[in-house]
Structure 1
Amino acid sequence: MALTATLIQLLPLQSGESKNGTWRKQDVIVETEGQYPKKICVSIWGDKINESQLQVGNSLIISYELESREFNSKWYTDVKAWKIEIAETKVPIVENSVFITPDSIPEDDEDLPF
């Protein structure tokens, strides 16, 4: 699954040691686009953390997985990012394009094929 959202807050970087070695986790808060924007906490693990992408205000495309787990009869859901890209907001300019305007459409309908 993927979503496009704007990064609004970086939470403190977490790190530690486990039996498999050093680990790092970065939680970020993003806000979705649309009529009813939602704030979502997304976790980014290990080498997926890219400080150059994680700048407040950047629009990101986040590919993620959802995972829920139970603890003391309560359920907790994690949103884990597995790929993050900066969203391109620029519209490509196509050279030598022909644009049709209402003034350029002929009013003569005798040439219609039906």
Structure 2
Amino acid sequence: ETHDQYPKKMCFDVFGADKIAQFNIQAGEELNVFFDVDAREWNGRWFNSIRAWKVERVGAQGPAAPDASFPPMNAAPAAPVDFAATDEKDDLPF
């Protein structure tokens, strides 16, 4: 659950015995969870999965600099990129 004005809740998966042991999540802990969101189709219906790939305990000693791969949550959105201007051939299957 987030600490926003209107809290949001998220249910996520931790897959694999090694990740379960590594994360060692206990009920009631405050965590920062990094996750992938995926969707798949089965029998004409779509299902979402939210799978954790990294868990950090809030207040635990971590790196001094924030993770550069993700902007801060309150950062201004970046301008959209026009990929059509640089792609000569679209080879994506979708």
Range class of TM-score, shorter chain: 0.5 to 0.7
Aligned 8 A contact 2:32 2:58 in 1: yes
- The structure with the larger Rg is 1
After the TM superposition, which residues 71-110 of structure 1 pair with which residues of structure 2 at under 5 Å, given as runs?
A: 71-88=42-59
Higher strand share: 1
Contact 2:36/2:51 (8 A) holds in 1: yes
Corresponding letter in the other structure for 1:64: F
Match of 1:40 in 2: 10
Tell me how far apart the structure 1 counterparts of residues 36 and 55 of structure 2 sit (CA, whole Å).
12
Q: Given residue 55 of structure 1, which amino acid in structure 2 is its aligned partner? A: Q
Structure 2 length normalisation: TM-score? Answer: 0.54
Partner of 2:32: 61
**Rounded Cα–Cα distance in structure 2 between residues aligned with 1:76 and 1:65:** 14
- Structure-2 change in CA distance of 1:53 and 1:34 (3 Å): farther
Deviation track 1:70-112 (CA, whole Å, cap 9, x = no partner) reads 11222111000111111118xxxxxxxxxxxxxxxxxxxxxxx
Structure 2: segments with no counterpart, 5+ residues: 61-94
Runs of 4+ in 1 over 4 A off after TM superposition: none
TM-score under structure 1 length normalisation = 0.45
Q: Identify if the C-alpha distance between structure 1 residues 85 and 50 changes in structure 2 by more than 3 Å, giving closer, same or farther.
A: farther
SS in 1 for 2:47: strand
